[in-house]
Amino acid sequence: MLINSISFLATKTKMEMTLFQLLNQLHLHPNLHIVTFIFFLFFIIYLYIRPQKSDEKLSYPPSPPRLPIIGNLHQLGTHPHRSLRELSNKYGPLMLLRLGQVPTLVVSCGEIVREIIKKHDVVFSNRPITTAGKILLYDNKDVAFSPYGEYWRQVRKICVVELLSLKRVEQFKFVREEATALMVDRIRQICGKTNAPLNLSEMLMETSTDIICRCVNGKSFSSSNGGEEGGKGNLFGELSRRLLVQLMSFSFGDFFPCLAWIDSIRGFTSSLKSTSKALDTFSNQVVEEHKAMMSLRSGDNIGVIKDNFVDILLRVQKDHKLEFELTQNDIKAIVQDMFLAGTETSSTTLEWLMTELMRHPKVMKKAQEEVRKIVGDKPKIDANDVNNMVYLKCVIKEVMRLHPPAPLLLARETTEKVELGGYHIPAKTQVFINAWAIHRDPKSWDRSEEFIPERFENDQSRTQFNLPPSPPRLPLIGNLHLLGTHPHRSLRTLSAKYGPLMLLQMGQVPTLVVSSSEMVKEIVKKHDVVFSDRPKTSAADIFCYGGQDVGFAPYGEYWRQARKICVLELLSHKRVQQFHLVRKEETDVLVNRIIRKGCCINLSEMLVATSNNIVSRCILGQSFEEENGRSKFGELTRKVMEDFEAFSFGDFFPSKYLSWIDVVTGFTGRLTRRFRALDTFLEQVVEEHKKVLNYNSEFGRKDFAGILLGLQRDGLLDFDLTRENIKGILMDMFVGASDTTSATMEWLMAELVKNPRVMKKVQEEIRRVVGNKSEIDMNDINQMDYLKCVIKENLRLHPPLPFLLPRKTLSSRVKLGGYDIHGKTRVLINVFAIQRDPNEWDKAEEFLPERFENNTIDFKMGQDFQFVPFGIGRRGCPAVSFGTVIVEYVIAHLLYWFDWKLVGGDDDGSAILDMSEDYGITVHKRTSLQLVPIPYSP
């Protein structure tokens, strides 16, 4: 009994001392100290003698000893993330503290975080209501502090889709460039005047604030740039800093809800309201200014690139497309979130990064060597350069590991009771995830307290990740030797053994091979953006003006805008129909040539010429065919295709600096010579079209080149369409359309000759539909259902590109089919294997057009993942309709006007027709198709 009394007195004395220390910090009137303390004393005695309810059957996480009333508050110290890490070393990765009256779970282990995200994400998605957040953020109407619910989901959707999408981030590139250039100039000026040190922390804060402020509000409000908004900038910066301090300040109401009145007595609540009122007045002025500016601009002149976050939110509010009403207070709260989160975290990360580099000169030197090597003598660093700075990214990752901007992630709150790590977690429990402790956990990180960026180099080992199966590799070349002369067939055989997802090592390039419709579906439905980049190749880099085309352009804002032009302006249904006369004239020429030629013709050669002529006239305005039937432009583009298919050391060994071998072998020189010839030709075409366009604007837009030049001249696009862009797009259109179209028609005629039953059936349909008419029109072709089935079956067995153009995953890691796929992985989709998969197709190796009769499977709809001859998703071919119409029209004429048989063969040519392949990006027949045409008279 005596021991218990002594213990109570000791505890009471310690508690009184703690309370006196708290009260001394409140700056209350002297008389209020006594009143407040008396209340505290009664409150302490009440809580101390109040019977405590507990359920001894439940297993709660371990807890450090607590003091009455304040619980574990005294253990937070001045650096809570460090103090809590020390406690977790003693009590485990899950601790249940009591901060005042608030039960608080502290998570200090990556495995527990994984369990939260994978199993209980919704339960842990709420935010605790705080006094500061309620007053300063319009009753928590922002995103970060908003409680979990429908409002939060809708507002977060706005942020993800409208404000912080990859597209929007790219659009603000010019803001980052201008603000960074200004900072560099200021540093140079200071260096030129004196050797005195500069305050880099201050500069980084100003630059970060400038960038975020321009993106959010449209103005920098920076006094350092000499702008008229400098006064406002000082006020805005001061208010924002005050807001941030108050959001982090101690509030009695947050830890002792029944004592919230103390915050009013000590002036904390009134201070919050004062800051809120001043910030609200400023924010209202900004919003009203943006409203006035938007009303002055017509809808057609509102450029997406010029919009900032306030403009975007106001436009979303005006459009009324949300499931709730977006108020002005909502907008102001969201804008505050964007500004505070962006400036504070960015400047802090930059400051720590430069600090660590100064502390580690070897790392500084290595990072600088990489940056300067990649940039070279260029006056400007662009995004493509930064994407290639692998070691710099490792440095940034290591800084984020050691110095996370928010060492304790924003507090969460459980919505209901839950089991976590074998422990019972009550509802309404506040949750702190100690990112600082997790990032320095010696169980997860070797030498966890040291700054070692190299730990992130080649961080793709099987011991950490579940990678797809791989065939055995050889040193240096990896799996290159397994490709063989027909890679689509070799990899199909390998996939039968290793599965529909295989990870190969092509030299130094990790390459994912996809051979299953289910995996294609998962890519398109769940990860289309992640799988939408293109790998950089030597040939594409030279011929496509450094990725200024559409097919090989890297994923980003330029590609989106260029593809939009192709889909809406060049390859729309209306535009395809406008070129009907071109198809008719060139097909008539083909039919007449066959009639004149007589008994034996090289149909492969004729189909290439016809395809080239149609595509060339649609794209460039003329066929460029000479009297002998040859086309210098056609021959040049065929050589370009050969170069695209050729092996390049630089493509497979990029970091071994083996690209010099391409120079020694003459490969680079050959690419350069052919590019110059192609560029000279396209320059002439562009100049001729510019003259015609200036003379007659309407007539000058009759082909793709004229349309693109017209768009450039009109200046109505959301980006500057350069001459290199135009030439790159024209080259794409011609090379892609002509080669795939001629290959498709060649294989189709070969299959028909090889399958006379099908030939007879499709000819009967065509001749029945056309009747005795002198020409075939598109209405006739639309009625030829069996012909369309024949074309589909031909595309199934002989897709023009057996591998779709290679993709590359973006920098983020992704889960596909249960496997981890790392960023920057090259991706080959083996369409040849997918479209001959016996699990998807009955009698998969046979030519059976009837399988598509009364069948909804179609390659144009984008929903049938077992049938994707032209790709699918964002990177699907935009010219599907353009090419398909040519195939339908030409083949219908060949089958209507002629019967066909092999040279020296009978009607059944299945035994003697050579169907072997000549592999390339586009697969043609190895031997040309020599046939005997027999004219048909209606």
- Helix ranges, 297-327 (H): 309-319
Residue 12 confidence class, pLDDT cut points 50, 70, 90: very low
Q: Is the pLDDT of residue 873 over 90?
A: no
Q: Tokens in use for 118?
A: 């994978």
Q: Tokens in use for 853?
A: 């009769």
pTM (predicted TM-score): 0.59
The pLDDT assigned to 36 comes to 57
Q: What letters, b where the CB count within 10 A reaches 16 and e where it falls short, cover 428-462? A: ebbbbbbbbbbbbbeeebeeeeebbbebbeeebee
Residue 635 confidence class, pLDDT cut points 50, 70, 90: confident
Q: Is the pLDDT of residue 26 over 70?
A: no
Return the sign of the alpha-carbon dihedral for residues 688, 694, 697, 699. Answer: negative
918 vs 787, residue with greater confidence: 787
pLDDT (mean) for 628-638: 75
Maximum alpha-carbon separation in the chain: 123
Rounded Cα gap, residues 718 and 537, in angstroms: 28
CB 167, CB 147: distance < 8 Å: no
* Kind and range of the H or E run holding 430: strand 430-433
Three-state DSSP at 431 gives strand
Q: HEC string of 267-284?
A: CHHHHHHHHHHHHHHHHH
Three-state DSSP at 95 gives strand
CB 601, CB 931: distance < 8 Å: yes
Residue 47 CB: number of other CB atoms within 10 A?
A: 12
Report the CATH architecture of 522-935: Orthogonal Bundle (1.10)
The end-to-end CA distance of the chain, in Å, is 119
Q: Tokens in use for 130?
A: 């705080």
402 pairs with which residues across the strands? none
Q: Where are the beta strands (DSSP E) in 46-138?
A: 94-99, 102-107
Place of tokens 């009143």: 35
The pLDDT assigned to 490 comes to 95
Three-state DSSP at 819 gives strand
Q: Shortest CA distance to 837 belongs to which of 504, 495, 513, 469?
A: 495
Q: Is the pLDDT of residue 31 over 80?
A: no
Instruction: Say if strands 509-514 and 826-829 run parallel, antiparallel, or are unpaired.
Output: parallel
Q: Is the pLDDT of residue 32 over 80?
A: no
Mean model confidence pLDDT for the chain: 85
Q: Is the pLDDT of residue 41 over 60?
A: no
The pLDDT assigned to 915 comes to 92
Q: Is the pLDDT of residue 228 over 60?
A: no
**279-312 residue pLDDT tens:** 888 888 888 888 888 777 654 444 444 578 888 8
Q: Is the pLDDT of residue 226 over 90?
A: no
CB 813, CB 823: distance < 8 Å: yes
The pLDDT assigned to 833 comes to 96
pLDDT (mean) for 327-352: 85
Q: What is the dihedral of CA 928, 934, 935, 938, to 10 degrees?
A: -120
Q: Read off the amino acid at residue 520.
A: V
pLDDT (mean) for 193-204: 83
Place of tokens 């419709």: 517
- Give 295-302 contacts, CB < 8 A, sequence gap 24+: none
CATH class of this structure's domain 79-128+361-459: mainly alpha
For 802, list phi and psi in degrees, rounded to 5.
-60, -35
Q: Shortest CA distance to 473 belongs to which of 500, 449, 494?
A: 494
Place of tokens 């009403």: 325
Please count the residues of the chain: 938
Indicate the range of 119-133, 140-154, 222-236, 252-266 predicted with least confidence: 222-236
Rg, C-alpha atoms of the chain: 35
Place of tokens 């961080």: 459
pLDDT (mean) for 195-202: 84
Rounded Cα gap, residues 739 and 634, in angstroms: 10
Q: Is the pLDDT of residue 461 over 80?
A: no
Q: Shortest CA distance to 40 belongs to which of 254, 258, 249, 270?
A: 258
The pLDDT assigned to 22 comes to 47
The pLDDT assigned to 476 comes to 86
For 327, list phi and psi in degrees, rounded to 5.
-85, 170
Q: What angle do CA 78, 79, 85 make, to 5 degrees?
A: 135
* Kind and range of the H or E run holding 288: helix 268-296
Q: Is the pLDDT of residue 606 over 50?
A: yes
- The residues near 679 (Cβ < 8 Å, ≥ 6 apart) are 727
| Comma-separated ranges of CATH 1.10.630.10 domains in the chain | 79-128+361-459, 136-359, 522-935
* Kind and range of the H or E run holding 503: strand 501-506
Return the sign of the alpha-carbon dihedral for residues 743, 748, 749, 750. Answer: positive
Rounded Cα gap, residues 896 and 784, in angstroms: 12
Q: Is the pLDDT of residue 7 over 60?
A: no
Rounded Cα gap, residues 186 and 192, in angstroms: 10
430 vs 191, residue with greater confidence: 430
Rounded Cα gap, residues 670 and 675, in angstroms: 8
- The residues near 162 (Cβ < 8 Å, ≥ 6 apart) are 168, 312, 313, 316
**507-551 residue pLDDT tens:** 989 999 999 999 999 999 989 989 999 998 999 999 999 888 999
Q: Tokens in use for 646?
A: 């050729």
CB 314, CB 290: distance < 8 Å: yes
Q: Read off the amino acid at residue 786.
A: Y
Q: HEC string of 346-380?
A: HHHHHHHHHHHHHHCHHHHHHHHHHHHHHHCCCCC
Q: What is the dihedral of CA 538, 540, 546, 550, to 10 degrees?
A: -160
Q: Read off the amino acid at residue 282.
A: F
pLDDT (mean) for 229-246: 66
Indicate the range of 27-31, 80-84, 260-264, 395-399 predicted with least confidence: 27-31
Helix axes 603-620, 704-714, angle to 10 degrees: 20
Rounded Cα gap, residues 654 and 593, in angstroms: 49
Rounded Cα gap, residues 313 and 325, in angstroms: 12
Residue 325 confidence class, pLDDT cut points 50, 70, 90: confident
Helix axes 328-359, 268-296, angle to 10 degrees: 100
- Give 70-79 contacts, CB < 8 A, sequence gap 24+: 70/15, 70/18, 70/100, 71/97, 71/98, 71/99, 71/100, 71/101, 72/97, 72/98, 72/99, 72/104, 73/99, 73/100, 73/255, 74/18
pLDDT (mean) for 597-601: 85
Q: Is the pLDDT of residue 789 over 80?
A: yes
**576-595 residue pLDDT tens:** 999 999 999 999 999 999 99
CATH class of this structure's domain 136-359: mainly alpha
Rounded Cα gap, residues 655 and 373, in angstroms: 13
Q: Is the pLDDT of residue 220 over 80?
A: no
